[in-house]
Amino acid sequence: MALAGCSLVRPVELPGAGGNADAAALAEQGRHAQAAEAYATLASTHPQDRDYDELKSAQQWLASGNADAAQQALASVSPAASVRFPVLRALVGASVGVANHDGEAALRDLARIQPPGAPGDAAEYWGLRGQADFLVGDVAAGVRAYVERERWLPDPAAVRANRDQLFTQIRAAAARGASFASPPETSPVVAGWLALGPVARDFDRNPLGVTSALAAWRAHFPDHPADATVTAAEQQALRAVTRFPRRVALLLPLSGPAGAAGVAVRDGFLAAYFQQAAASRPRVRIYNVASHPIATVYSQALADGADFIVGPLTKQDVAAIAPLSSGRVPILALNFLANSIAAPRDFYQFALRPEDEARIVARRLVADGRLHGIAIVPQGDWGQRVIDAFRAEIDRHGGGVLAVGRYAPGQINFTDIIRTTLEIGTTPGGPAAHRADATFVFVAGPPSITRLVMPQLKFNYAGDIPVYSMPDGYAPSPVANSDVDGMRFPDMPWMISADPVTAKIRASVDAAWPNRSARWGRLYAFGFDAYRLVPALRSGYLAGGTELSGVTGRLRLDDLGRIRRGLDWAVIRDGVPNPL
């Protein structure tokens, strides 16, 4: 994180340093990489000033964004630098630690010196201290450091930037589930910042309940410095994601073949609706599209004065309503149109598509350096769509699917598929072994399948190959999931996040619908986020790549009007998902 209001470290003037002035000029021009190289050259040609020039080189490498080069330059500095240039050595060392996300190393470097008394050095010291404290999870100490830093900043713009940075740190800590308890004898200013932590959780995951929480915070901390700057700006964003149209129509199948899914989406939608203060809720009218043709229901919703339409749910109904849309009333369809069909104006699409989830798995495998492996997918259309999307994505990144095994509905024994795809055999005088080029096993299917496949992989001498699955491969059950320990998979926060806001939302849905089936959990979350997307789409909040932190994932709007989801990753340990 860049720190406003001062340079990274204050320069130390050395006698007779003409080349040093040239390097400093490059730094002033913003040519940080060239400045770093110039200081490195000086270090090699002026051994008497080597430590100083290496420190300055490290400083400039950091400014250019090259933390590895900065680390190398710092490693060339002798222990004597801590005596000759104690402040410079400590601040540059701490900056390298922060750049490498190593808060403990940064704090060790800062402990070499007392807090400086010169304004520039002091501002840098406390800024680094704050970042390092947040990195090691000491939120209260981090807040104190940022508050102290404010005393040393030169102007109101730098103070404002410092407060923005502090709130960013608080939001990130809140997303990680950090504690915001105030230690004894905490000052009111620090206590106020810490009390914003729980509010910050709601800003991101559930802004519908923020207004009352923010009012309570203001009443408890009147005239707090955050109120005039940070919270005022956040309220502008808050209005964009909570200001609803007057009338919303919800078009869902509530009976028939898709009725159970439609009811789950409806219940999640209403759970979000009841999160909002009654005075600011829109009027929601629900239409059962299973009872009448979609064209009839759409016309009725318009005649009833709908300002925004959410639904329908099935691909057939979405394809049927698209040609009817005139763009006069925005529509958030709860499925995707076929790629060959262009969406009308103000026609948005949101779906939990297995193809997108398969691509997310493929991209994670590439990031993990596992480019080649085998896939086990179900027979039929769903399995074909999944393997086509997975194969296309991993091929695009230079990887490949070595073999595909397809299982039948109700299949229990996977030995033949495992032995065939992984080419398991015996060598003379040796144990059975699998093909050496397989670096992953991708399993697509419900939890009943992943819980069968993984033990059978171990039985067939392939338990050493990492298993990756899709969200559908996981369901909460610590006892049953003991068979899938080690499985890696992406999923929505609703299913795997332990943060207090998501837990509170899940509890509210449980309270509203105590007899709901756990089978439909992801569709409840889908309905919840569909409600939240209405004001975000209406206000243009998602334009330009801005993300909405939802319970189904990190939501963003693409150029085709489709909502794309970023998922969280987890690995099963002792039957429980742990974040990756």
Domain end (from 238, 272, 298) = 238
Q: pLDDT band for position 23 (50/70/90)?
A: confident
For the chain, percent of residues with pLDDT exceeding 90: 73
Instruction: Tell whether 13 is covered by a domain.
Output: no
Q: Establish whether the linkage from the previous residue to 312 is cis, with ω within 30° of 0.
A: yes
What are the tens digits of pLDDT across the range 492-506? Answer: 999 998 777 788 788
As a whole number of angstroms, the distance between CA 34 and CA 257 comes to 66
CATH number for the domain spanning 423: value is 3.40.50.2300
CATH number for the domain spanning 54: value is 1.25.40
- Tally of domains in the chain: 2
Instruction: Tell whether 64 is covered by a domain.
Output: yes
What are the tens digits of pLDDT across the range 234-285? Answer: 777 777 888 899 999 999 999 999 999 999 999 999 989 988 888 889 999 9
* 213 and 68 belong to one structural domain: yes
User: What angle, 0 to 180 degrees and rounded to 10, lies between the N-to-C axes of helices 50-64 and 18-28?
Assistant: 10
Domain region containing 148: 18-238
Instruction: Tell whether 41 is covered by a domain.
Output: yes
Asked if 15 and 172 count as a contact pair (C-beta separation under 8 A), the reply is no
What are the tens digits of pLDDT across the range 441-475? Answer: 999 999 999 999 999 999 999 999 999 999 999 98
Q: What local confidence, expressed as pLDDT, does residue 208 receive?
A: 75
Q: Is 517 helix (H, G, I), strand (E, B) or coil?
A: coil
Least trusted range by pLDDT, from 233-237, 397-401, 534-538, 544-548: 233-237
Q: What local confidence, expressed as pLDDT, does residue 12 receive?
A: 44
Instruction: Tell whether 344 is covered by a domain.
Output: no
Domain end (from 441, 460, 494) = 494
Instruction: Tell whether 164 is covered by a domain.
Output: yes
pTM for the whole thing?
Answer: 0.78
As a whole number of angstroms, the distance between CA 549 and CA 455 comes to 36
Asked if 144 and 134 count as a contact pair (C-beta separation under 8 A), the reply is no
- What are the backbone angles phi and psi of residue 562, rounded to the nearest 5°? -100, 140
- What mean pLDDT is predicted for residues 511-527? 80
- On the question of pLDDT at 206 being above 90, the answer is no
Q: Is 233 helix (H, G, I), strand (E, B) or coil?
A: helix
As a whole number of angstroms, the distance between CA 99 and CA 43 comes to 23
Instruction: Tell whether 519 is covered by a domain.
Output: no
Q: According to the per-residue pLDDT averaged within each range, which of 21-25, 76-80, 230-234 is highest?
A: 76-80
Q: pLDDT band for position 21 (50/70/90)?
A: confident
Instruction: Tell whether 250 is covered by a domain.
Output: no
- On the question of pLDDT at 364 being above 60, the answer is yes
Instruction: Tell whether 561 is covered by a domain.
Output: no
Q: What local confidence, expressed as pLDDT, does residue 500 receive?
A: 74
Domain end (from 475, 494, 513) = 494
Asked if 49 and 39 count as a contact pair (C-beta separation under 8 A), the reply is no
